[in-house]
Structure 1
Amino acid sequence: MSLKAFSDYVSLEKNYSQHTVLAYIRDIESLQEFLKEQYEIDDINVVQYGLIRQWIVQLVNNGISNRSINRKVSSLNAYYKFLQKTQVIDNNPLKKHKALKVGKKLNLPFSQQELKEVLDNSIVVNDFESARDKLIVELFYSTGIRRIELVNIKMSDINFSQKQLKVLGKRNKERYIPIIDSLIQSINVYLKYRNQLPTIVNSEALFLTIKGTKIYEMLVYRIINKYFSIASSKAKCSPHVLRHSFATHLLNEGADLNAVKELLGHTSLAATQVYTHNSIAELKKVYAKSHPRNKT
């Protein structure tokens, strides 16, 4: 059973993104290389847990974080489950494996003041790129969409009359997100500059490069990092932090957790609850300030 068969399975049957599929394959190939170099074993399908554990130990010794190691092992586990399903192997060597302990990952959101600084002062709209960059920031903060979702927005996904945006999320699940009037205004400003580009190669894509081609994920990351690394002292200034800010600020203002879950495109409420820690902190401040028994 080849990796190609597994790749086709997770791509076509499980509807995983190309990025996820490639990550799975890289993780599996990492174990293959270890077994070949250390034990001259070519067949990953027949190894016992003891050898996989030696690979995990090497990863730890190489300074790989427990979170990254757990992800790699998760990829392997998915592969071995596939081999069981297709009756290539009888037992999954990772069946009794316990994930390594990891600390809670806390991504602090941008403050409302930092968002205001970027949107009101840092980006002066006077050409195509500045209009595009400002719209990208506004869209992330107004909708909470993922970076890949933003990259893949089509012109036809925007419904101006209904004031909503169609987004293609994970596993090709569509969802509709309301868009506010200020965002619609920024879209219209950007479209005026977009229409003036001398060449448009990808006419369906909403966001383009200056050359008229569809925007790509790394460029989106650089745009966000460019503006927020100046306005914010946070070590990490990424599109995901903007998504985090969107969710946290909504919850701080009293938004329903289930509503935020739907906007973010989460399949479970547990995934959304990671954003509530800041809301709890905000509630504690209000409680301490407002409770009658706490007043002197």
Structure 2
Amino acid sequence: MVKKFLEYLEYEKKYSPHTILAYRKDIMDFICFCKEEFNQCYEDVSYSQIRSWIVQLTSGKLTNRSINRKLSSLKTFFNYLVKIGEVTKSPMMKHRSLKEQKKISIPFNEKEINEVIDIIKTKVGFEGVRDRLILELLYSTGIRRAELINIKTKDLYFEEGVLKIIGKGNKERFVVLLPFVIETIKVYQLERKMLKEIKDKDYLLLTKKGVKMYETLVYRIINSYFRRVSTKVKKSPHVLRHAFATHLINRGASLFSVKELLGHSSLASTQVYTNSSLEELKQVYNKTHPREFD
């Protein structure tokens, strides 16, 4: 039944392979727990047994956010079982998510990004131009890391100045390609043609071995450049996405416009970037205000 559920996520819900693997792990962990603790199949569990699993997860020092993700997987699984008539009702019906501590991620500021751009412009050859293109695409469009590595050459529309992105849930959207990014893409494509072998020809971004880029390599590239100029704890591609959204909002872009550019399904997801802006303003205020009235 788990196999059929995962196929449902893949073919009907259009979830990414990474997401499907996470669902599989969460559900198999719960099934193993039921067998070990209660010698019981998942079809017969009650919410009290699910609560026992929550207690075990909590004692394992998992964050409430991680636990909520696992329980969300379980809820989706039981809803699927109800849908196909495998069970009459979901034991997760009355479940309420655990409270999560809100964390505000501080994006890279414009000075840090400009400093990295100055560094990366000095790099030559295939990898140097590719790294520059990765940075420019992430910062100028706000796309996700997974979306970046899945860009295909056919998704580029130079005349229209746009790039087609396949986002979460297999949803398509178009993002603007600024003239300087188009120029970098063209320079990169010339360098790309000089590779000895190209195995993944459909994909835009490749490793020097001619295969499709992978997520950990993108992370290492971004981290390696930003650790030279930034003291922020997180130096990941996602922080560049934060920077893209925050800088647009700081310069007057509407939340709705940023929502569309980011590919968010709800405005609530976009509102976190206003919190980032406020947090950065607080830090500037605390560092610079004279406090003459103390």
TM-score (norm 2): 0.92
Question: Distance between the aligned counterparts of 2:208 and 2:217, measured in 1?
Answer: 12
> Which residue is equivalent to 1:149?
147
Map of 1:89-100 to 2, 5 A cutoff? 89-100=87-98
Q: Which of 98, 101, 114 is 2:99 aligned to?
A: 101
- The Cα shift of 1:122 comes to 4.6
Distance 1:285 1:98 in 2: 35
**Which structure 1 segments of 5+ residues have no match?**
288-296
Aligned residue pairs: how many? 285
Q: How far apart in 2 are the matches of 1:200 and 1:73?
A: 42
1:64-106 deviations in Å (ceiling 9; x for gaps): 0000000000000001111111111112111111111111121
**Structure 2: which amino acid aligns with 1:138?**
E
- Which segment is superposed worse, 142-151 or 169-178? 169-178
Distance 1:71 1:282, change over 3 A: closer
Bigger mean CA offset, 111-120 vs 30-39: 30-39
Structure 2, unaligned runs of 5 or more:
286-294
Provide the rounded CA distance (Å) in 1 between the counterparts of 2:281 and 2:228: 29
Taking the aligned partners of 1:207 and 1:283, their CA distance within structure 2 comes to 36
- Alignment equivalent of 1:45, drawn from 43, 46, 58: 43
Distance 1:282 1:235 in 2: 15
Which residue does 1:249 correspond to in 2? 247
**Superposition pairs of residues 7-22 of structure 1, within 5 angstroms:** 7-22=6-21
Task: Answer whether contact 1:252 1:278 (CA < 8 A) is retained.
Answer: no
Indicate conservation of the 8 Å contact 1:66/1:101, yes or no.
Answer: yes
Tell me which residue corresponds to 2:214: 216
Equivalent AA in structure 1 for residue 207 of structure 2: T
The corresponding residue for 1:56 is 54
Separation in 1, partners of 2:97, 2:198 = 48
2:176 to 175, 178, 187: 178
Question: What is the distance in 1 between the residues matched to 2:223 and 2:42?
Answer: 40
Residue identity in the other structure for 1:98 = R
Aligned partner letter, 1:197? L
Contact 1:166 1:177 in 2 (8 A): yes
8 Å Cα contact 1:252-1:282 kept in structure 2: no
- Aligned to 1:109, what secondary structure does the other structure show? coil
Following superposition, the deviation at residue 238 of structure 1 comes to 0.9
Q: Matched residues in 2 for 1:25 and 1:78: separation?
A: 12
Supply the AA of the counterpart residue of 2:88. D
The structure-2 alpha-carbon separation of the partners of 1:191 and 1:84, relative to structure 1 and needing over 3 Å to count, comes to same
User: Deviation at 1:37?
Assistant: 2.2
Deviations 1:107-138 (A, max 9, x none): 11001111011111255221111111111011
* Runs of 4+ residues over 3 Å off in structure 1: 278-287
Match of 1:77 in 2: 75
Identity rate of aligned residues, in percent? Answer: 51
The aligned amino acid for 1:84 is V
Rounded Cα–Cα distance in structure 2 between residues aligned with 1:74 and 1:203: 37
